[in-house]
A and B are shown apart, each in its own frame.
Chain A
Amino acid sequence: MKPGGVVRAVMLAGFLFLWLPILLLVGFAFSADRIPFQWGGFSLRWFGVLAANERLLEAVWLSLRIAAASATLAVLAGGGIAFALARFGPFRGRALFGALIGAPLVLPEVVIGLSLLLLFVALEGVIGWPAGRGAFTILLAHASFGAAYVAVVVQARLAEAERSLEEAAMDLGATPLVAFWTITLPLIAPALLAGWLLAFTLSLDDVVVASFVSGPAGTTLPIALFSMLRLGVTPEVNALGALVVLVVGSMLALALWLFGRGRA
């Protein structure tokens, strides 16, 4: 059913609404004017200023490392949980199990942040670990809600994949472990990768939870950016935005292209 003109117009307006601020952000990164979002001639100076901002660069590097590590941890935990839910049939406490993995998806960020901080404080008080708060606690916190998202993606894929494939493998002589390794894993690999990317992005983007569970040395990019934005916006932010859009955009284009080729 082809949508009518009004619907099309709203759709276009919607995309414009979503994209215009981003395009303007990127566009003005190339402006020489010190006042952000004003055009003062073409210039790349703000990229230079960005490159010289050591603190910001450190924050970027920290965020990237935390995001990669927490995404990996999230995939291991979330993937395992999804597999248990999709393939284990009924087991004791299954309802609670399913409810717990779904919780981070619906809890407000401030609640997740506060409750995890309290957990870390309590753990430190009782068993002395984790000692202090910083990159490691952020990593754990991000992995915990990342796993919830990974579980959703992997569960969806497992639900699609025929269970009889694993049974056929076992019928042909594969133990459950071998069947998982040779049959299930290759089939859910795209979902695992998608889950990893999702968890990575969420980690890179999080300011609320990280603020709660972080410590003096744990200044991530979002935390640094948040402090900057509280005071207003500078053209450095434009430059950062332009870089992020460039990197993410090309990664997405690459993923689309790979996906298209995989289909053929």
Chain B
Amino acid sequence: MPRGILLAPLWTWLLLLVAAPLLILVVMALATPADGVPPFMLGWRFAAFAMLVEDFYYADALVAALRLAATTAGLCLLIAYPMALGMAGVRPAWRLPMLALLMLPFWTGFLLRIGAWIGLLRDEGLINHLLRGLGITDAPLALLYTEGAMLVGMVHAYLPFAVLPIFTALIRLDPALLEAAADLGARPARVFFSVTLPLTLPAAAAGFLLVFIPAAGEFVIPELLGPPEAQVIGRVLWQEFFQNRDWPLAAALALALLALLILPIRWFQRLGAGA
């Protein structure tokens, strides 16, 4: 079988487009920023890494990102689990439409959804308009460009991804297990806590990580909905690259972010392998 013939282009693809870029990140982190195009000179310079360690601004950015990611993932999980339970409880014929209902927001593109939130939360937006119209407030509430707006946007964007793995695990659950527990004397709440919950815990963990990992590097939502002070790592990296044109520092930041995410990523892959 000519496996080699098929494997060669596939290896080329993977090595070129996935492996090489990551290695080049390291090379760039060691380079020196310069004027000109492109704005760097190859070298052996550790100043970028040193800056990460010495300047608390960057450490704070990493912490802020992790905190935002954890909060988002936690909130998503809180809403996603009951949602998945509800979805899993409908008649099997309705499952596919429910799934479509869950995923359609994703398919419409997340920039448009952020646009919707901007429209809702801004000073002249719908929510303020309603509040003033109902006489609840006089002056507009500063809803947009706050931590809260950022969090709402994050949860809105990532929620479907937390629901999916839990929903899948729930419908794969052998109903005989639940019936066996009931037969042995467990009431519905007990069945849930002693059978359903433990068996779907890995899926819940997967849902958490599926949100946490990409959210840690999030740039767009903090930029469009969050306050200027919300300097999460994604934003800082963007600014260093596009505004300060300090490519080595941006590369070092990317590597730092990756280093922090290695453990969650490994955990997520192991969960996937067990599934």
Contacts and interface: CB of A to CB of B under 8 A. Distances in A.
A and B in contact, CB less than 8 Å: yes
Q: Which 7 A-B pairs have the closest CB atoms?
A: A108-B217, A11-B86, A115-B21, A10-B82, A21-B116, A25-B116, A3-B89
A24 B121 CA distance: 12
B185 interface: no
B149 interface: no
Interface string B84-95: 011111000000
6 contacts: A11-B85, A21-B156, A37-B119, A88-B3, A108-B214, A225-B111
A55 to B, nearest CB: 16
Contact of A115 (B6, B108, B116, B254): B254
Residue in A12, A22, A103, A110 whose Cβ sees the most chain B Cβ within 10 Å: A110
Which of A4, A103, A106 has the most CB atoms of chain B within a 10 A radius of its CB?
A106
A134 interface: no
Contact of B115 (A93, A109, A229, A249): A229
Nearest to B88: A3
Given A22-B108, A103-B18, A256 B118 contact: no
B24 A115 contact: yes
Interface string A1-26: 11110111011111101110110110
Where chain A touches its partner, the secondary structure class is helix
A24 B102 contact: no
Interface of A: 1-4, 6-8, 10-15, 17-19, 21-22, 24-25, 28, 35-38, 77, 80-81, 83-84, 88, 91, 93, 97, 100-104, 106-112, 114-116, 118-119, 121-122, 140, 143-144, 147, 176, 201, 204-205, 207-208, 211-212, 222, 225-226, 229-230, 232-233, 237-238, 240-241, 244-245, 248-249, 252, 256, 259-260
A74 to B, nearest CB: 10
Contacts of B82: 3, 6-7, 10-11, 14
Given A110-B237, A111-B258, A25 B112 contact: yes
Contacts of A18: 102, 105, 156, 159-160
Given A77-B10, A144-B18, A233-B115, A2 B89 contact: yes
Contacts of A121: 38
Given A11-B82, A81-B10, A118 B21 contact: yes
Contact of B219 (A109, A118, A240): A109
A144 B22 CA distance: 13
B24 A37 contact: no
A74 B13 CA distance: 11
Interface of B: 1, 3, 6-7, 9-11, 13-22, 24-25, 27-28, 38, 79-80, 82-83, 85-89, 96-97, 100-102, 104-120, 122, 124-126, 129, 156, 159-160, 163, 175, 178, 188, 191-192, 196, 213-214, 216-220, 223-224, 234, 237-238, 241-242, 247, 250-251, 254, 257-258, 261, 265, 268-269
Contacts of B85: 3, 7, 11
A147 B13 contact: yes
B122 A233 contact: yes
Nearest to B160: A18
B163 to A, nearest CB: 8
B86 A119 contact: no
A103 to B, nearest CB: 5
A35 B125 CA distance: 9
A24 B188 CA distance: 39
A14 B98 CA distance: 12
A232 B97 contact: no
A14 B159 contact: yes
